[in-house]
Amino acid sequence: MMVEMSSRQNLYPTITTSNEDVDSESKTCGKILVVLSWMLVILTMPFSLFICFKVVQEYERAVIFRLGRLLSGGAKGPGIFFILPCIDTYARVDLRTRTYDVPPQEVLTKDSVTVSVDAVVYYRVHNATISIANVENAHHSTRLLAQTTLRNTMGTRPLHEILSERETISGNMQLSLDEATEAWGIKVERVEIKDVRLPVQLQRAMAAEAEAAREARAKVIAAEGEQKASRALREASEVIGDSPAALQLRYLQTLNTISAEKNSTIVFPLPIDLLTYFIKAREEPV
């Protein structure tokens, strides 16, 4: 047992030494290839300048790899930058904001209702070097993650929150996506929920419920109006009862209102005193 442990301990320094030798050899070969590349550029001047000088736009950056290794100094641009032929490769990265229209996602909400939700995601590359070195396709990965995040977020919410709290849900999705894509050099600027499509049967049920609620409120308002009108009529009758002349004035006002309208109604005035005489005669005992 002690022999095996000692052999393993002796093996580790050997592996470390071999790795250091490989690194030193690769650096030496790299320096030789760089020198040869410079010689090629000098020998083929001025034609080599058309190959060595590249231009990127204001909204672009160039990530350069030399012999497969990321060149120090970060991304180049905007403007002119220089590459060595045969040993340098570069990738253009667009920094402008991109729009991704998330296709409709079938989601089962927390209260077991199936809805179709679609959204729009606005994102951009904020670190060109990381977006090339850390992920194969940053844009495709961000789009797939946006679809998954939309389904997961909607699945944890009941239907009434999805319909009434879109801004809150969009903000939570934006924070979640931004945190997940930080390692890919992506910055998620905004998330907007476009539409929430409900099943036809559920739409009919919700419409019937809303109509019934409106009818109930209308009946309550009508009942309150009738109650207030009856109280006003009672107060008016008490006022008219205290003053017999008020009843006569009300009678004349009604006649004036009827005569002002252009209709074929014929009104025969009947003295109120005559009616009062008959009423009193009826109330007297025989």
Cβ-contact 173, 191 below 8 angstroms:
yes
Greater pLDDT, 82 or 271:
82
pLDDT of residue 267: 59
pLDDT tens-digit profile of 211-252?
888 888 888 898 888 888 888 878 877 777 777 677 677 777
Q: How far apart are CA 270 and CA 169, in angstroms?
A: 74
**In the chain, % of residues over pLDDT 90:** 24
Please state the separation of Cα 246 from the chain's center in Å.
Answer: 67
102 and 173 in a single domain? The answer is: yes
Nearest residue to 59 (alpha-carbon basis) of 37, 75, 36, 40: 75
Q: Are residues 60 and 117 in the same domain?
A: no
Residue where a domain stops, chosen among 201, 224, 245 = 201
Residues 69 and 165 in one domain: no
pLDDT of residue 175: 92
Task: Please state, in angstroms and rounded to a whole number, the distance separating the CA atoms of residues 49 and 283.
Answer: 127
Q: Is residue 136 one of the residues assigned to a domain?
A: yes
Residue 87 shares a structural domain with residue 107: no
Let me know if residue 79 belongs to a domain: yes
Q: What is the number of helices (H) and of strands (E) in the chain?
A: 9, 8
pLDDT over threshold 70, residue 107? yes
Residue 74 falls inside a structural domain: yes
Give the per-residue pLDDT at 119.
92
End position of a domain, from candidates 58, 73, 94: 94
pLDDT band (50, 70, 90) for residue 273: low
* Contact of 147 with 102, CB cutoff 8 Å: yes
- DSSP string spanning 222-283? HHHHHHHHHHHHHHHHHHHHH-HHHHHHHHHHHHHHHHHS-S--------HHHHHHHHHHHH
Per the structure, how many domains does the chain have? 2
Query: Are 43 and 103 in a shared domain?
Result: no
Confidence of residue 3 (pLDDT cuts 50, 70, 90): very low
> What is the predicted pLDDT for the residue at 48?
78
Stronger pLDDT, 258 or 233, i.e. the higher one: 233
| Domain's final residue, options 201, 231, 255 | 201
- Between 123 and 214, the more confident residue is 123
pLDDT tens digits, 124-180: 999 999 999 889 899 999 999 999 999 998 888 888 888 888 889 999 999 999 999
What is the rounded distance in angstroms from the CA atom of residue 194 to the CA atom of residue 82? 45
pTM: 0.64
149 in a domain, yes or no?
yes
Here the tokens at position 262 are: 């252009």
Residues in the chain: 286
Check whether residue 101 and residue 181 sit in a common domain: yes
The answer to whether residues 114 and 159 touch, using CB atoms and an 8 Å cutoff, is no
125 and 149 share one domain: yes
What is the extent of the structural domain holding 130? 97-201
